[in-house]
Structure 1
Amino acid sequence: MTTKHSVPGDPAERIRIKRIYETAGSEDGHRILIDRLWPRGMSKEHARLDGWEKGVAPSDDLRKWFQHKSERWAEFQERYRAELKEKDSELDALAAIARSGTLTLLYGAADEEHNNAVVLREVLLEREKQRDTGNE
């Protein structure tokens, strides 16, 4: 279901993740940094951000516990999802951006498979699926 304010198409194509150190491109759409800390060695000019949503980043305690250790990935996902349950307004704002065009969630971690952007994208896609099926 699309509203008159939505861009048609699969949300999975409109919600992307990208390492902030990769070159920005026009296909990125809205570029939103979702880390709590500014990425090391990255200038604000080079980042080309449209926003910085620290509020959806993992808490400092969770970030420090995880340390991007793959053996902690499953538990990190559970804990981070629990934190995101308290972030409805921030998630709604990101989802609204994605409904109007492409949203690229930017992260600084070196591990491209085990990071908060992967989890956040999944959560946003799940919310959009629930919204589309009317199960909010």
Structure 2
Amino acid sequence: MPTRAVDIERVYDHPGAEDGFRVFADRLWPRGLRKDAFHYDDWAKDLAPSTELRRWYGHDVAEFAEFRSRYLAELESPDGRTAVERVLELAGDRSIVLLTATSDVEHSHVEVLRDFLVELLREFS
């Protein structure tokens, strides 16, 4: 069975796209956007880093390695696993598109989350 794709898109890039299972994975709603400004199938706030971790990181690229480690620990926690399993169940066999409003995707939680999901899906395929 082929591994399902897990992609990342910014909410501003393809707002009407309906490819795969589209998960808005930020804890906070993007400023200035209405709830119907882009297409998403689920708003998985519980997949985003905790408020404490998000505030600690503050998108300081120098802290990304430590942020990654702390966020992976949150994803591995019982609550994190429950959130991940819920999204995977909702997605079914569809590919997953992680949506974010962040401008620096490469140093964001969705980059870590994508890698985590890809590895998890690889284990189960």
Q: TM-score, normalised by structure 2?
A: 0.88
Say if 2:106 is the partner of 1:119: no
- Choose 1 or 2 for highest CA Rg: 1
Q: Is this contact kept in 2: 1:95–1:128, CA < 8 A?
A: no
CA deviation string 1:76-113 (max 9, x = no partner): 00000001112112111223345511211111111021
Q: Deviations over 1:21-79 (max 9, x none)?
A: 112323x3221111111011121111222110111110111101111111010000000
Q: Which residue number corresponds to residue 47 of structure 2?
A: 56
Identity %: 35
Does structure 1 residue 22 correspond to structure 2 residue 13?
yes
For residues 124 and 14 of structure 2, the distance between their equivalents in structure 1, rounded to whole angstroms, comes to 32
Correspondence for 1:74: 65
Give structure 1 stretches of 5+ with no counterpart: 3-8
Letter in 2 for 1:126: E
> 1:35 touches 1:54 (CA, 8 Å); kept in 2?
yes
| Aligned-residue offset at 1:10 | 3.3
Partner of 2:37: 46
Contact 1:66 1:73 in 2 (8 A): yes
In the alignment, is the contact (CA less than 8 A) between 1:21 and 1:42 conserved in 2? no
How many residues align structurally? 122
Give me the whole-angstrom Cα distance separating, in 1, the residues matched to 2:55 and 2:100: 16
| TM-score normalised over the length of structure 1 | 0.82
Partner SS, residue 120 of structure 1: helix
Q: Is 1:83 aligned to 2:74, yes or no?
A: yes
Question: Structure 2: 5+ residue runs without aligned partners?
Answer: none
Aligned alpha-carbon RMSD (Å): 1.5
Aligned to 1:18, the other structure's residue is in SS state strand
